[in-house]
A and B are shown apart, each in its own frame.
Chain A
Amino acid sequence: MGAIEKLRALTDDQNFRKKLSVCYQCGMCTGGCPVAHVRPDYNPRRMLESVLLGHYDEVLASNLIWLCTSCHSCLERCPQKIELSELLIDLKNAAAESGNIPKMLLERARRIAETGQSTPISKASLVWREKLDLAPISPVNVEEIQTILQATEFPGRLDRTRSNANGTRN
Chain B
Amino acid sequence: MGQETRYAWFPGCWVSNRMPYIEAADRRVLDAFGIELLEMKGAQCCPEPYAVLGLGREAWLGLAGRNLAIAEEMKHGILTPCPGCYSTLKTANMNMRNDSSQRRRVNELLSKVGREFNGEIEVEHTATVLYNKIGLEKIAGAIERPLVGLRVATHYGCHLLKPSQVTGTEDPERPTFLDRLVEVTGAVSVPYVRKTLCCGGSISAVDENTSYAIAREKLLKVKQAGADCLMVACPACMIQYDTNQHSIEKTFNETYGIPVLYHTELMCLAMGVPVNQIGFPHQVKLDRVLDKVSISRA
A-B interaction: yes
Residues of A bordering B, CB below 8 Å: 34-35, 37-39, 42, 66-73, 75-76, 85, 89, 92-93, 96, 101-102, 104-106, 108-109, 112, 116-122, 125, 128-129, 132-135, 137-142, 144-145, 147-149, 151-154, 157-158, 166-167, 169-170
Residues in chain B near residue A139, CB distance under 8 A: 42
Is B109 part of the contact surface with A, judged by Cβ < 8 Å? yes
Q: List 28 A-B contacts (CB under 8 A).
A: A37-B217, A69-B200, A69-B202, A70-B50, A73-B158, A73-B196, A89-B53, A93-B54, A105-B51, A108-B50, A109-B55, A112-B44, A112-B48, A116-B44, A119-B13, A125-B18, A132-B20, A138-B40, A138-B42, A138-B43, A144-B42, A145-B44, A148-B109, A152-B56, A152-B58, A157-B55, A157-B56, A169-B208
Interface flags for B93-128 (1: CB within 8 Å of A; 0: not) read: 000000000000000111011010000000000000
Contact with A112, one of B43, B45, B200, B206 (Cβ below 8 angstroms): B45
Q: Which A residues are CB-close (under 8 A) to B62?
A: 148-149, 151-152
Query: Which residues of B sit under 8 angstroms from A148, Cβ to Cβ?
Result: 59, 62-63, 66, 109-110, 112-113
Q: Is the CB of A71 within 8 A of B162?
A: yes
In the complex with contacts A138-B43, A154-B58, A105-B109 CB distance below 8 A: no
State the CA gap A128–B279 with chains docked (Å).
11
Known: A66-B203, A112-B45, A125-B18. A92 touches B113 (CB 8 A): no
Query: Are the C-beta atoms of B57 and A89 separated by less than 8 Å?
Result: yes
Contacts of A137 in B (CB 8 A): 16-17
B191 in the interface (beta carbon within 8 A): no
CB-based contact B113/A147 at 8 Å = yes
B237 nearest CB across to chain A (Å): 11
**Contacting residues, chain B, for A39 (C-beta < 8 A):** 210, 213
Which B residues contact A (CB, under 8 angstroms)? 13-14, 16-18, 20-21, 23-24, 27, 39-45, 47-59, 62-63, 66, 108-110, 112-113, 115, 158-159, 162-164, 172, 196-198, 200-203, 205-210, 213-214, 217, 278-279
Cβ of B113 to closest chain A Cβ, rounded Å:
4
Q: Are A118 and B51 in contact (CB under 8 A)?
A: yes
Q: Is the CB of B40 within 8 A of A153?
A: no
B contact patch SS: helix
Can you add 19 more A-B contacts, CB < 8 Å, to A93-B57, A140-B44, A149-B62? A34-B198, A66-B54, A67-B203, A70-B202, A96-B54, A105-B51, A112-B44, A117-B44, A119-B18, A125-B17, A128-B21, A132-B21, A145-B66, A149-B59, A151-B108, A152-B62, A153-B59, A166-B207, A170-B209
Q: A102-B205, A119-B14, A151-B109 are in contact. Are A134 and B66 (CB under 8 A)?
A: no
Tally of A-B Cβ pairs under 8 angstroms: 195
A69 to chain B, nearest CB (A): 5
Q: Which of B13, B42, B112 contacts A151 (CB 8 A)?
A: B112
**Interfacial chain B residues near A112, Cβ < 8 Å:** 44-45, 47-48, 51-52, 63
With A and B bound together, what is the CA distance between A128 and B207 in angstroms? 30
Of listed B41, B52, B53, residue having the most chain A CB within 10 A = B52
Q: With A137-B16, A147-B112, A167-B206 in contact, do A153 and B47 touch (Cβ < 8 Å)? A: no
Set of chain B residues within 8 Å of A141, measured between Cβ atoms:
42, 44
Shortest Cβ distance from residue B290 to the other chain A in the assembled complex, whole angstroms = 19
Chain A's nearest CB lies how many Å from the CB of B204?
9
Q: Are A76 and B162 in contact (CB under 8 A)?
A: yes
Q: Chain B residues near A154 (CB, 8 Å)?
A: 52, 55-56, 58-59
Question: With A and B bound together, what is the CA distance between A134 and B278 in angstroms?
Answer: 11
Are the C-beta atoms of B54 and A105 separated by less than 8 Å?
yes
A47 to B: closest C-beta gap in Å: 15
Chain B residues within 8 Å of A34, by CB:
197-198, 200, 214, 217
Cα–Cα, bound, A73→B162 (Å): 7
CB atoms of A120 and B17 under 8 A apart: yes
